[in-house]
Chains A and B, each alone.
Chain A
Amino acid sequence: QKEVEQNSGPLSVPEGAIASLNCTYSDRVSQSFFWYRQYSGKSPELIMSIYSNGDKEDGRFTAQLNKASQYVSLLIRDSQPSDSATYLCAVKRKSGSRLTFGEGTQLTVNP
């Protein structure tokens, strides 16, 4: 079993729709959770971090964390073509600094 699993994708949504990206993790001692966006050939860019159960909203982005279910998700409202990218879920343990990544989900927003 992989430590971090993401819905395999690719995911395609129409412009203006809600894109839902999901991630599950196996290590219960994970404490910090991150969503990175990566455009082709570019740096992974942090878009959301979440540390506590519940929802965290930032503009069109909402991260949701459920530690009991070991599940973290990212919702993108009013999706735009510029949101088309690969979204990477990453988790970090309380001890140590390494990030453990999922394989990523490729999102395409169609105009």
Chain B
Amino acid sequence: EAGVTQFPSHSVIEKGQTVTLRCDPISGHDNLYWYRRVMGKEIKFLLHFVKESKQDESGMPNNRFLAERTGGTYSTLKVQPAELEDSGVYFCASSPRPGGSDTQYFGPGTRLTVL
């Protein structure tokens, strides 16, 4: 069974540009999470989807970040316009249906560098 995949693995952009990160969860997992780790800090929660609905987006830093999960399968996280402080590693995780196992399986992350 394929794990959580993320694309791209690395992205380098200029301040003010737009970047879109993609996450494909494990097939059949209803829960999808986005996390971020900035340099020297802990991994921090951004938001949680259950299928296509945003269950908790309290960790989103500001309105420059937009997450979508159309159709309840893959998810995208768009940063527009990117700022220097957005640099970091963005992780996606998925877990089975609500009420099932709460183990979250992580993808390898997308390393975003904003210059």
Evaluate contact between A44 and B43: CB separation under 8 angstroms: yes
**How many B residues touch the partner, as a band?**
20 to 34
* Total count of chain A residues near the partner, CB < 8 A: 24
Q: Does chain A have a CB within 8 A of B48?
A: yes
State the CA gap A49–B102 with chains docked (Å): 10
A96 to B33, CA, bound (A): 12
A103 to B31, CA, bound (A): 24
A56 at the interface (CB under 8 A from B): no
Would you call B41 and A49 a contact (CB within 8 A)?
no
Closest Cβ of chain A to B83, distance in Å, is 23
Indicate which residue in B33, B41, B103, B107 contacts A103 across the interface (CB closer than 8 Å). Answer: B41
Task: Please tell me if the beta carbons of B43 and A46 are within 8 angstroms of each other in the complex.
Answer: no
Most buried by B among A90, A99, A102: A99
Known pairs A43-B107, A44-B91, A46-B105; A98 contacts B43 (CB<8 A): no
* Chain B residues proximal to chain A, CB less than 8 Å: 3-4, 31, 33, 35, 41-45, 48, 55-56, 59, 91, 93, 95, 102-109
Q: List 24 A-B contacts (CB under 8 A).
A: A32-B102, A34-B103, A41-B108, A43-B3, A43-B91, A43-B106, A43-B107, A43-B109, A44-B91, A46-B103, A88-B43, A90-B43, A92-B102, A97-B31, A97-B55, A97-B95, A98-B33, A98-B48, A98-B56, A99-B104, A100-B45, A103-B41, A103-B42, A104-B42
Give me the interface of A with B, judged by CB distance under 8 Å: 2, 4, 32, 34, 36, 41-46, 49, 88, 90, 92, 96-104
